[in-house]
A and B are shown apart, each in its own frame.
Chain A
Amino acid sequence: MNIKSDKYKKNVSKADIDLPRFTINNEEKKIYVSAKEGNFLSNNNILLSKNVRFKSNDFSIETEKVIFNRTEQTANSKSKSLFKAKNTIISSDGFNIFDKGDKIVFYGKSFIVLK
């Protein structure tokens, strides 16, 4: 009986949102935001976690945790991040997305490869 209960608990997600999806609308392009889980920190701030991905036509960013602000359309991550664009890879200790995706700040010791 106990074993069944544990199994049941494992299958229940603690996330407020399963597979959350958002879009950052820039004048130039759209950035699609996706993750496995999302938890509300406040009305506007959502903690996205597990396989968090920002994707536009030009680039993608992958990380594990991001705080996404729905109204400001900003994102802030303090976990290891990997940016990929055409012939470019950037790895960093975190990132911030401002100005609807026009400005991306990569934090900490950063490593860029231009091919």
Chain B
Amino acid sequence: MSLIFKLIVICIISLSISAREIGETEITTDDGIEVFQNEQYYLLKKNVKIDSDNFTLNAENVKVDFEDNLNNITELNAEGAVKFDSSEFNMRGQGEKLKFEVKYERLELQGLDSELITENIEMFSNGLIKVNNLTGEFSLFGEKSKLINENIIIIGETIDGFFSNNINNKEITILNVFDNNLSYVKNNNSEMYAKKINYNNETSLIELIDDVTIIRDGEKVVGDYGTLDTKNNSYKIKSNNESKVKVIILNNE
């Protein structure tokens, strides 16, 4: 009888230790924690797991900067097979390194197979993905960096621009893509190649610069400079060589 009672007590105690309560953040590590009180940071070492109501993170090692007390986190730097999921910011991601500045909502993912997935936009890179959630600024660096949303696929070595601040539907308002080996943009019915591709939501113009190719409806048009108006779905292409014919195709559908 006494043994059963002891077992029940042990079960209750172990449950109360391991069960995370609402509002709490639970962190486990395999190789300890180093706390630097004056410098206000701590290191979480080996097989780190962070679990809270609206954020989970797995990584090999994590450095956490704090203010005043350990749970007032200002910056988080994780490395080694980083995976995270934030329901608060509606995003998840992975990479070799993650830097997250909490106050400024700035996020950086670095390394091979980095990816950042939000409700509307997916970003992939083997180099660097940077997003500022407050200003909407984003950038991707590295070979074959890729950005996908509902209507567009963008591939290039450098992709940067701005998202709209609409929380429910983050649209791309400004976009600049560069790749010396040709950037690629695919929207609803067109595929575009050029060294440099720019887009401005206000003018609804996609600008294509150097080694331009537009493929649409089985038609392929080549030039040195082009623009595509996403509003009326028309495009223009011209060549630096004056003897070449400029092509203008209007689609009045």
User: Is residue A101 contacting chain B, with contact meaning CB distance below 8 A?
Assistant: yes
Q: A114-B27, A115-B71 are in contact. Are A90 and B20 (CB under 8 A)?
A: no
Q: A58-B37, A114-B70 are in contact. Are A92 and B25 (CB under 8 A)?
A: no
CB pair B34–A104 under 8 Å, yes or no, is yes
Collect the chain A residues with CB atoms within 8 Å of residue B33's CB: 90, 92, 105-106, 110, 112
User: Is residue B30 contacting chain A, with contact meaning CB distance below 8 A?
Assistant: yes
Q: A85 CA to B30 CA in the complex, in Å?
A: 21
CB pair A104–B23 under 8 Å, yes or no, is no
CB pair A110–B71 under 8 Å, yes or no, is no
Collect the chain B residues with CB atoms within 8 Å of residue A108's CB: 30-32
CB pair B69–A86 under 8 Å, yes or no, is yes
Interface string of B21-61 (1 = CB under 8 A from A): 00111111111111111110000100000001000000000
B37 in complex: contacting residue of A102, A109, A115, CB < 8 Å: A102
A113 in complex: contacting residue of B20, B35, B69, CB < 8 Å: B20
Collect the chain A residues with CB atoms within 8 Å of residue B70's CB: 85, 87-88, 112, 114
Q: A51 CA to B158 CA in the complex, in Å?
A: 59
Collect the chain A residues with CB atoms within 8 Å of residue B35's CB: 103-106
The interface on chain B, measured as residues whose beta carbon lies within 8 A of the other chain's beta carbons, has a size of 24
The interface on chain A, measured as residues whose beta carbon lies within 8 A of the other chain's beta carbons, has a size of 25
CB pair A114–B25 under 8 Å, yes or no, is yes
- Distance of B73 from chain A, by nearest CB (Å): 8
B24 in complex: contacting residue of A86, A103, A110, A114, CB < 8 Å: A114
User: Is residue A40 contacting chain B, with contact meaning CB distance below 8 A?
Assistant: no
Q: A85 CA to B32 CA in the complex, in Å?
A: 17
CB pair B32–A115 under 8 Å, yes or no, is no
CB pair B25–A113 under 8 Å, yes or no, is yes
Q: A23 CA to B149 CA in the complex, in Å?
A: 60
Q: Which residue on chain A has the smallest CB distance to residue B26?
A: A113
- Distance of B47 from chain A, by nearest CB (Å): 9
Q: A26 CA to B38 CA in the complex, in Å?
A: 10
CB pair B38–A87 under 8 Å, yes or no, is no
- Distance of A83 from chain B, by nearest CB (Å): 8
User: Is residue A107 contacting chain B, with contact meaning CB distance below 8 A?
Assistant: yes
CB pair B69–A102 under 8 Å, yes or no, is no
**Which of A101, A105, A109, A110 lies at the interface centre, i.e. has the most chain B CB atoms within 10 A of its CB?**
A110
CB pair A102–B27 under 8 Å, yes or no, is no
Q: Which residue on chain B has the smallest CB distance to residue A107?
A: B32
User: Is residue A28 contacting chain B, with contact meaning CB distance below 8 A?
Assistant: yes
Q: Which residue on chain A has the smallest CB distance to residue B68?
A: A86
- Distance of B64 from chain A, by nearest CB (Å): 10
Collect the chain B residues with CB atoms within 8 Å of residue A22's CB: none
CB pair A111–B27 under 8 Å, yes or no, is yes
Collect the chain B residues with CB atoms within 8 Å of residue A101's CB: 37
Collect the chain B residues with CB atoms within 8 Å of residue A112's CB: 25-29, 33, 44, 70
- Distance of A75 from chain B, by nearest CB (Å): 14
Contacts A103-B37, A105-B33, A115-B24 given; 6 further ones with Cβ under 8 A? Answer: A85-B69, A88-B71, A102-B38, A105-B35, A107-B31, A112-B27
- Nearest first, the 5 A-B pairs at minimum CB distance are A114-B71, A112-B27, A114-B25, A88-B70, A106-B33
Sample 17 A-B pairs with CB under 8 A, ordered by A number. Answer: A28-B38, A92-B32, A93-B32, A103-B36, A106-B32, A106-B34, A108-B30, A110-B29, A110-B32, A111-B17, A111-B28, A112-B26, A112-B44, A113-B20, A113-B27, A114-B25, A114-B52
